[in-house]
Amino acid sequence: MAALTHLEEEKLIKEQGYNDHFYDHHHGDKHQMGFITKYIFCQDHKIIAKQFLITGIIWAIIGAAMSVIFRLQLGFPEADMAWLRPFLGKWIVVNDDGIGSLDPNFYYALVTMHGTIIVFFVLTAGLSGTFSNLLIPLQIGARDMASGFLNMLSYWFFFLSSVIMLASLVLSTGPFSGGWTAYPPLSALPQASQGSGTGMTLWLISLTFFVVSVLLGGVNYITTILNLRTKGMSMWRMPLTIWAFLITAIIGLLSFPVLVAGFLLLMFDRGMGTSFYLSEIFIGGQALDNVGGSPVLFQHLFWFLGHPEVYIIILPAMGLVSEILSVHSRKPIFGYKAMVFSMLAIAFLSFIVWAHHMFMAGVNPFISNFFVLFTLIIAVPSAVKVFNWIATLYGGNVRFNSASLFAIGFVSMFISGGLTGIFLGNSTIDIQQHDTYFVVAHFHIVMGIAAFFGMFAGIYNWFPKMYGRFMNETLGQIHFWGTLIGAYLIFGPMHYIGLAGVPRRYFRFDSFETFKQFDALNQFITVCAIIVFALQILFVVNFFYSIWKGKKVTSKNPWESNTLEWTTPIKPGHGNWEGNIPTVNRWPYDYGKDGVDFIPQIKPLAEGEQHSELHQ
């Protein structure tokens, strides 16, 4: 038995494939008449994926540039920032000597926007939005999403939300500046902070539209996966990417509405004089009438989304990495079913651990017992996943390229960041570490860097499918090594700063004897952050250069992968497959089975061959 040639593959789809009469009615191209319907208000999942990706990249540049500015403040608080005046205007206060310094109002706005943008716009929309859209129809063998129209709306709600958030950046009172978690009363009272006025109103509206986008997308992903799988594609034959997107969409559907509920109550408190979150407040020389509310209620509502949100971010990355590690190790993913069950376990547990963000927030310490227990239980399925990824490499024939390297980097980051989570999930240690730089280091590594690594791996791996060209491999590897080393150098030292007790979200440290000892480390981190930022610019250059000038893909299946997306034409049009839809005869991980390098899912079992998935 040998691997399939392209001719054999086409013959297989033609003979065994399923004719859904897609091309008989000519509706296949009816939505792609002109420029506007093809590239702007497009209903094709592949174009929508690119829209999500490119919008996400633009937001990532903005979000990362913000972090560079506030890192400059933290590393070099005395340095002259007057050169930023052309970009930031009045937020750079220039004194009589011509030395410019950052306005603390804007520092806090930058910190807040950095978090909001990266968490929601980049790692939720940019990551899950891109790859769910691109891969779900292609990998399950569907012509498109269940509803192309809702899918289009999903992007345009995200776009609307982006525009509103962008507008809030240029307000004269500045964007919202109370932290991405937006805890009231700070976020509820315009008297409390400049950014809590119009900036906060726009922030709330923007994120509400964003939730609409996520929900429309999520409904679509779930429906598509459950209903539009091609013949033979049983649930246990889906690639792990699809499992990850399915579970992610379910989590999003269950948790995002709770956030909107929290936001609505906050809007009422802000605009209609209700007291859901406000009680006994004296601010701006005035005692407010609100009594009986509880700021802790908002935290419950927020983290009921907020915690599942981190899994909404990391699960798609896990799915992408599982697929990429398997393909480039030329080996089946180790423990396919264990991978699925651990994702399900993580998803379930993600709903009952939210209060571990609130151990020190004034909730009853007795309640914390349950949250500690469930939180630390999550370490078990996470550990299983890590072991399985490592076991996938074992005995493989690992092909090194930007995609597989970023996947390996993802595993390394996930281990490092996951382990520090064990400290924070334990409420006793959290007494000291809560809201310090240790937390900053932890979540940046485990859901920031790791999720970005998963996203980069995915982009390098599926770029040929998106644009019919490869990204430049050498630049990709420079990007990988610089980012891997740089990310550890940025966030490694932060653990020690946090252990020494330095709180996060400080504008300067020099008023405290305890916190001001770390100038050298802070400078080092800032320098590393600037270099890593430059490397991301390199990635963006590579990305856009390769769209038009990259090396052309010459074969349908450049990675010699088993999944269905590589049976489509090099540049698939609307409807994905030119003739019949391929049918599936086996699971997606038959790499190296019986000595054959790879056996695509469309290939029927040979005589006497057993299904690999039956051994699970």
Partner 1 sequence: MTGFIILLAIVLVVVISVQIGKIVELANKIRGQEESDRINADRTAFWLLVFGIALILGTIWSCYHYKNFMLGYGPHEAASIHGKKVDSIFNLTVILTGIVFVLTQVALFYFAFKYKGRPGKKVLFIPHNNKLEFYWTITPAIVMTILVVSGLMAWNEIMADVKEDEDFIEIEAVAYQFAWDIRYPGKDHKLGTRNYKLISGTNGLGMDWTDPKTHDDFIADQIVLPKGKKVRVRITSKDVLHNFYLPQFRVKMDAIPGLPTYFVFTPEKTLDEYKLELRKYPEYLEPSDPKDPFGPKKWETFTYELGCAELCGIGHYSMRKVVKIVSPKEYEEWFNKQNSVYFSTVRNTDDDPNKGKVLAGEPITTSVETKEKVDTTVIISKESLNKK
Instruction: Please report, as residue ranges, which positions from 229 to 288 form the binding site for partner 1 (by CB under 8 A).
Output: 278-283, 287
Taking residues 416 to 435 in sequence order and writing x for each that binds partner 1 by CB under 8 A, - otherwise, the string is x--xx-xx--xxxx-xx-xx
In this complex, which beta carbon is closest to partner 1, that of residue 192 or of residue 347? 192
In this complex, which beta carbon is closest to partner 1, that of residue 134 or of residue 484? 484
Can you tell me whether residue 366 is helix, strand or coil?
A: helix
Site residues (CB under 8 A) for partner 1, limited to 335-354: 335-338
Among 492, 558, 573, 604, binds partner 1 (CB under 8 A): 492
Q: State yes or no: residue 446 binds partner 1 (CB under 8 A).
A: no
Taking residues 79 to 98 in sequence order and writing x for each that binds partner 1 by CB under 8 A, - otherwise, the string is xxx-xx--------------
Q: Cβ 423 to partner 1, closest distance in Å?
A: 5
In this complex, which beta carbon is closest to partner 1, that of residue 166 or of residue 338? 338
Q: Cβ 107 to partner 1, closest distance in Å?
A: 8
- Torsion 62-68-71-76 (CA) sign: negative
Q: State yes or no: residue 7 binds partner 1 (CB under 8 A).
A: no
Task: Tell the residue number behind the tokens 């922030």, with chain if given.
Answer: 203
In this complex, which beta carbon is closest to partner 1, that of residue 578 or of residue 613? 613
With a CB cutoff of 8 Å and minimum separation 6, the contacts of 594 are: 1, 609
Among 6, 14, 399, 571, binds partner 1 (CB under 8 A): 399
Q: Cβ 531 to partner 1, closest distance in Å?
A: 7
Q: Cβ 2 to partner 1, closest distance in Å?
A: 13
In this complex, which beta carbon is closest to partner 1, that of residue 179 or of residue 257? 179
- DSSP string for 237-254: GS-HHHHHHHHHHHHHHH
Q: Cβ 274 to partner 1, closest distance in Å?
A: 14
For 509, phi and psi rounded to 5 degrees? -115, -5
- DSSP string for 233-293: --GGGS-HHHHHHHHHHHHHHHHHHHHHHHHHHHHHHHHS---SS--S-EETTEE-S--S-
Q: Cβ 565 to partner 1, closest distance in Å?
A: 22
Q: State yes or no: residue 296 binds partner 1 (CB under 8 A).
A: yes
Q: State yes or no: residue 397 binds partner 1 (CB under 8 A).
A: yes
Site residues (CB under 8 A) for partner 1, limited to 180-239: 183-186, 189, 192-194
In this complex, which beta carbon is closest to partner 1, that of residue 39 or of residue 481? 481
CA dist list (Å): 329 to 312, 319, 392, 535, 576: 26, 15, 7, 27, 27
Count of residues engaged in binding partner 1, rule: CB under 8 A: 138
- DSSP string for 185-213: TTTT-GGG-GGGTHHHHHHHHHHHHHHHH
Among 245, 276, 334, 443, binds partner 1 (CB under 8 A): 334
In this complex, which beta carbon is closest to partner 1, that of residue 34 or of residue 595? 595
Tokens of 317: 């990355």
Site residues (CB under 8 A) for partner 1, limited to 352-371: 360-362, 365-366, 368-369
Rounded distance between C-alpha atoms, residue 66 and residue 91, angstroms? 13
- Of 51-59, 121-129, 323-331, 457-465: span binding partner 1 (CB under 8 A): 323-331
- Torsion 176-182-184-185 (CA) sign: negative
In this complex, which beta carbon is closest to partner 1, that of residue 40 or of residue 99? 99
Site residues (CB under 8 A) for partner 1, limited to 503-522: 503, 505-509, 511-515, 517
Question: With the CA atoms of 45, 51, 57 and 59 taken in that order, what torsion angle do they form, in degrees rounded to the nearest 10?
Answer: -120
Site residues (CB under 8 A) for partner 1, limited to 548-607: 589, 591-595
Q: Cβ 333 to partner 1, closest distance in Å?
A: 8
Rounded distance between C-alpha atoms, residue 229 and residue 116, angstroms? 35
Among 202, 411, 446, 599, binds partner 1 (CB under 8 A): 411
- Torsion 290-296-301-302 (CA) sign: positive
- DSSP string for 339-351: HHHHHHHHHHHGG
Q: Cβ 380 to partner 1, closest distance in Å?
A: 5
Q: Cβ 479 to partner 1, closest distance in Å?
A: 8
Q: State yes or no: residue 412 binds partner 1 (CB under 8 A).
A: yes
Angle at 420 between CA 416 and CA 424, to 5 degrees: 160
- Of 116-124, 228-236, 263-271, 530-538: span binding partner 1 (CB under 8 A): 530-538
Rounded distance between C-alpha atoms, residue 489 and residue 202, angstroms? 36
Site residues (CB under 8 A) for partner 1, limited to 457-476: 472, 474-475
Task: Tell the residue number behind the tokens 């090396």, with chain if given.
Answer: 551
- Of 31-39, 243-251, 305-313, 497-505: span binding partner 1 (CB under 8 A): 497-505
Rounded distance between C-alpha atoms, residue 231 and residue 234, angstroms? 8
282-283 and 100-102 as β-strands: parallel, antiparallel, unpaired? unpaired
Element (H, E) at 450: helix 450-467
Q: Cβ 467 to partner 1, closest distance in Å?
A: 18
Q: State yes or no: residue 148 binds partner 1 (CB under 8 A).
A: no
Q: Cβ 281 to partner 1, closest distance in Å?
A: 5
Tokens of 170: 């240029």
CA dist list (Å): 556 to 77, 113, 561, 569: 54, 41, 10, 6
In this complex, which beta carbon is closest to partner 1, that of residue 94 or of residue 377? 377
In this complex, which beta carbon is closest to partner 1, that of residue 216 or of residue 487? 487
- Of 77-85, 211-219, 253-261, 314-322: span binding partner 1 (CB under 8 A): 77-85
Q: What is the SS3 string spanning 83-144?
A: HHHHHHHHHEEECCCCCEEECHHHHHHHHHHHHHHHHHHHHHHHHHHHHHHHHHHHHHCCCC
CA dist list (Å): 450 to 308, 323, 492: 16, 16, 14
- DSSP string for 36-83: IIIIIS---HHHHHHHHHHHHHHHHHHHHHHHHHHHHHHH-TTS--GG
- Of 29-37, 243-251, 536-544, 566-574: span binding partner 1 (CB under 8 A): 536-544
Q: Cβ 277 to partner 1, closest distance in Å?
A: 10
Among 481, 555, 569, 605, binds partner 1 (CB under 8 A): 481
Q: State yes or no: residue 116 binds partner 1 (CB under 8 A).
A: no
In this complex, which beta carbon is closest to partner 1, that of residue 312 or of residue 446? 446
- Of 120-128, 210-218, 405-413, 557-565: span binding partner 1 (CB under 8 A): 405-413
